[in-house]
Structure 1
Amino acid sequence: MSPLPAPPARPAPALPTEQVPHRVRGRLVTVDEPLRLGSGGRRAAAQVRFLRECQSHDLVVRWFPATDDPLFTGPAREVSATAGLLRHLPAPAPLPGEPPALAEWRERHAYGQLYHRNGPDFVTVMDRRDPSAAARFTIEDPDLLAAFRTLQDATAVAGLDATGREAVDLLAGERLARVTDGWGVALPPRIRRWPVPCTDI
């Protein structure tokens, strides 16, 4: 009996490079500079997009928040709200004196807490960031769907038309997008593997 063939090697994922210098070794991504997710604007939106894409590929990410970032230094209530919104993304590495919300982010993070899957003319989203209020969404309205797809990249909301801006507001209201200082980004990663080993979608 001949041995079973080796499983095909997975190609290295193409990760966005804007605003996030990093190194990839196997499944480990090491970010070379502190991230400023709490600072808002284009930079923060691009960094959230980067972490979202890492989560989409189920990669392990080692990153630190900047110690002068509002995510690290801001009022406890705001830090907790931001950490809760982003809990589905890879959590920051521990730092001395960090807010308790960042430690909770690490403890509660798991692959598959928030994700989306693409259909031909719709997107389904599963949100389990808060286990007591899990929700499933189907985005099929053309304007909402267009906005969701636009927000796969960091996007200046002011550059959208009135319909697009209204759609972004609706997505942000459902915690499916984050808008800070005029820049928006979609939050649910596209899931590529079920949260079970060796199972592809």
Structure 2
Amino acid sequence: MSPLPAPPTRPAPALPAGPVPHRIRGRLVTVDEPLRLGAAGRPAAAAVRFLRECQSHDLVVRWTPATDDPLITGPAHEISATAGLLRHLPAPGPLPGEPPELTVWRDRHAYGQLYHRRGPDFVTVMDRREPSAAARFTIDDPDLLATFRTVQDPTAVAALTPVGREAVELLASERLAWVTDGWVVALPPRIRRWPVPCTDI
């Protein structure tokens, strides 16, 4: 009896190049510098995009926030709002004296809390960050869909057309995009494996 063939190797995922220095080994991604999600602007949007793409590939990410980041040092209601918005992303590692909202983030994080799937002329989004208020969206308006695709990468709001800025306002109001100091980035990762039974998608 001939031996079974070895399982195919899983190629390393293509993560965004740019301002987030990291190392990847198997499914483990180690970010080499603290991230500043609460520091606003382009670096924060780029950090969120990086974590979103790691989540898309279902990678384990080790990262810590900077100790002077407003995500750590800001008012409790702002920390809670940001952590709730980003709860679908890989959670930060523990820090001494961290606010309890970051512990909640780690405890409640799971793959598939927020994701999107792409059709030919539409995108469907499932949002289960708050289990009691789960929502499903279909983005098929051409202008809204074009903007959603544009802001997969961090984008200056001022560089968008008036229609694009209006679309960003709508996406942000539904918590599908994050606007930070004039920059915007889409939040739902693109799903690459079934996170739940197919009847729930």
TM-score range normalised by the length of the shorter chain: over 0.9
Tell me the TM-score normalised to structure 1 length: 0.96
Residue 199 of structure 1 is matched in structure 2 by: none
- CA shift, 1:3, in A, is 3.2
What are the Cα deviations for residues 130-165 of structure 1, in whole angstroms up to 9, with x where unaligned? 000000000000011001000110000100000000
- CA shift, 1:39, in A, is 1.1
Tell me the TM-score normalised to structure 2 length: 0.96
Work out the CA distance in 2 between the residues paired with 1:123 and 1:134. 17
- CA shift, 1:79, in A, is 0.1
What are the Cα deviations for residues 163-196 of structure 1, in whole angstroms up to 9, with x where unaligned? 0000011000000000010000000000101126
Amino acid corresponding to residue 112 of structure 1 in structure 2: G
Could you say what secondary structure the match of 2:37 adopts?
coil
Q: How many residues are treated as equivalent by the alignment?
A: 196
Write out the 4+ residue segments of structure 1 that deviate beyond 6 Å after TM superposition: none
Matched, 1:42 2:42: yes
Could you say what secondary structure the match of 1:65 adopts?
coil
Of all paired residues, the percent bearing the same amino acid is 84
Matched, 1:64 2:64: yes
Q: What is the root-mean-square deviation of aligned Cα atoms in Å?
A: 0.9
Q: For structure 1, which runs of at least 5 residues remain unmatched after alignment? A: 197-201
Amino acid corresponding to residue 80 of structure 1 in structure 2: S
Residue 128 of structure 2 is matched in structure 1 by: 128
Work out the CA distance in 1 between the residues paired with 2:134 and 2:7. 35
Residue 23 of structure 1 is matched in structure 2 by: 23
Work out the CA distance in 1 between the residues paired with 2:5 and 2:172. 47
- CA shift, 1:7, in A, is 2.4
Work out the CA distance in 1 between the residues paired with 2:85 and 2:103. 15
Residue 146 of structure 2 is matched in structure 1 by: 146
Matched, 1:33 2:12: no
Work out the CA distance in 2 between the residues paired with 1:176 and 1:5. 43
Could you say what secondary structure the match of 1:24 adopts?
strand
Residue 11 of structure 2 is matched in structure 1 by: 11
